[in-house]
Amino acid sequence: MATTVQPTPAVGAPLSRLEGREKVTGQARYATEQPIEGVAHVAIVQAPVARGRVVSVDDRAALALPGVLAVVWHANAPRLAEVDDHELALFQGDRVAYLGQMVAAVVAETPEIAHDAAERLDVRIEQESHDARLRADHPNLYAPETVNAGFATDSVIGDVDAGLAQAQSTIDVTYTTPALHNNAMEPHASLAMWDASGLTIYDSNQGAATARRTVAEVFELEPDQVRVISHHVGGGFGSKGTPRPNIILAALAARLVGRPARVAVRRQQMFHLTGYRTPTIQRLRLGADAGGRLTAIVHEAAVQTSQLREFVEQVVTPTRTMYAAPNRRTTHRVVALNVPTPSWMRAPGECPGMYGLESAMDELADAVGIDPIELRVRNEPPADPESGAPWSSRNLVGCLREGARRFGWDARDPQPRSRREGRWLVGLGVAASTYPAYRSPAQASVRREGDGRFLVRIAAADIGTGARTVLAQIAADALGVAVDRVRMEIGDSALPRAGVAGGSMGTASWGTAVVRACERLLETGGEEAHADTTDEVKAQQARARHGFGAQFVEAWVDAVTGEVRVQRMLGVFAVGRIINAKTARSQFIGGMTMGIGMALMEESVMDERFGDFVNHDLADYHVPVCADVRSIDAIWLDERDDDLNPMGSKGIGEIGIVGSAAAVANAVRHATGIRVRDLPIRLDKLIG
Helix, strand and coil in the chain, % to nearest 5: 25, 25, 45
Q: From the candidates 217, 310, 603, 654, which is the catalytic residue? A: 654
What pLDDT sits at residue 209?
97
370 to 141, 293, 647, 672: CA distances (angstroms): 38, 11, 39, 19
Residue (of 578, 554, 572, 551) closest to 635 by Cα position: 572
Is residue 421 within 8 A of residue 575, CB to CB? The reply is no
Q: What percentage of the chain carries pLDDT values higher than 70?
A: 99
* Neighbour tally for 609: CB within 10 Å: 10
Q: Tens digits of per-residue pLDDT, 605-630?
A: 999 999 999 999 999 999 999 999 99
Banded pLDDT at 6 (limits 50, 70, 90):
low
User: In this model, does residue 450 exceed pLDDT 90?
Assistant: no
What pLDDT sits at residue 399?
98
Q: Which residues pair with 578 in a beta bridge?
A: none
Show the domains of the chain with their CATH numbers: 40-128+183-273 (3.30.365.10), 139-180+275-381 (3.30.365.10), 388-438+542-688 (3.30.365.10), 440-538 (3.30.365.10)
Position 67, amino acid: G
What pLDDT sits at residue 5?
52
Give helix 350-368 / helix 660-672 axis angle, nearest 10°.
Answer: 30
CA 420 to CA 671: how far, in whole Å? Answer: 8
User: In this model, does residue 8 exceed pLDDT 90?
Assistant: no
End-to-end CA distance of the chain: 82
Exposure of 170 by Cβ count < 10 A (0-12 exposed, 13-18 middle, 19+ buried)?
middle
Compute the average pLDDT of residues 1-21.
Answer: 81
- DSSP assignment of 605-616 equals -EETTTTEES--
CA dihedral 570, 572, 573, 579 (to 10 degrees): 80
Is residue 464 within 8 A of residue 501, CB to CB? The reply is no
Average pLDDT of every residue of the chain: 97
What pLDDT sits at residue 161?
98
Q: Tens digits of per-residue pLDDT, 144-186?
A: 999 999 999 999 999 999 999 999 999 999 999 999 999 999 9
CA 343 to CA 88: how far, in whole Å? Answer: 14
User: In this model, does residue 294 exceed pLDDT 50?
Assistant: yes
Compute the average pLDDT of residues 467-476.
Answer: 98
Element housing 151 (H / E)? strand 151-152
Is residue 667 within 8 A of residue 427, CB to CB? The reply is yes
CA 650 to CA 288: how far, in whole Å? Answer: 32
Under DSSP, the state recorded for 110 is: S
Size (the chain), residues: 688
CA 209 to CA 217: how far, in whole Å? Answer: 13
Q: Could you give phi then psi for residue 502, rounded to 5 degrees?
A: -170, 165
Compute the average pLDDT of residues 365-394.
Answer: 97
What pLDDT sits at residue 365?
98
CA 311 to CA 332: how far, in whole Å? Answer: 12
Prediction pTM value: 0.97
User: In this model, does residue 34 exceed pLDDT 70?
Assistant: yes
Residue (of 404, 433, 361, 358) closest to 679 by Cα position: 358
Q: Tens digits of per-residue pLDDT, 36-48?
A: 999 999 999 999 9
Grouping H, G, I as helix, E, B as strand and the rest as coil, residue 407 is: helix
Under DSSP, the state recorded for 531 is: E
Compute the average pLDDT of residues 198-224.
Answer: 98
Where helices occur in 601-645 by DSSP H, the ranges are none
User: In this model, does residue 225 exceed pLDDT 50?
Assistant: yes
Q: Could you give phi then psi for residue 262, rounded to 5 degrees?
A: -120, 130
What pLDDT sits at residue 288?
98
Q: Is 608 considered catalytic here?
A: no
Under DSSP, the state recorded for 69 is: E
Q: For 550-591, give the secondary structure using H, E and C.
A: EEEEEEEEECCCCCEEEEEEEEEEECECCCEHHHHHHHHHHH
Give the angle subtended at the CA of 65 by the CAs of 59 and 70, to the nearest 5°. 50
Per DSSP bridges, beta strands 102-108 and 40-46 are: antiparallel
Is residue 655 within 8 A of residue 547, CB to CB? The reply is yes
What pLDDT sits at residue 481?
97
User: In this model, does residue 541 exceed pLDDT 80?
Assistant: no
Is residue 242 within 8 A of residue 208, CB to CB? The reply is no
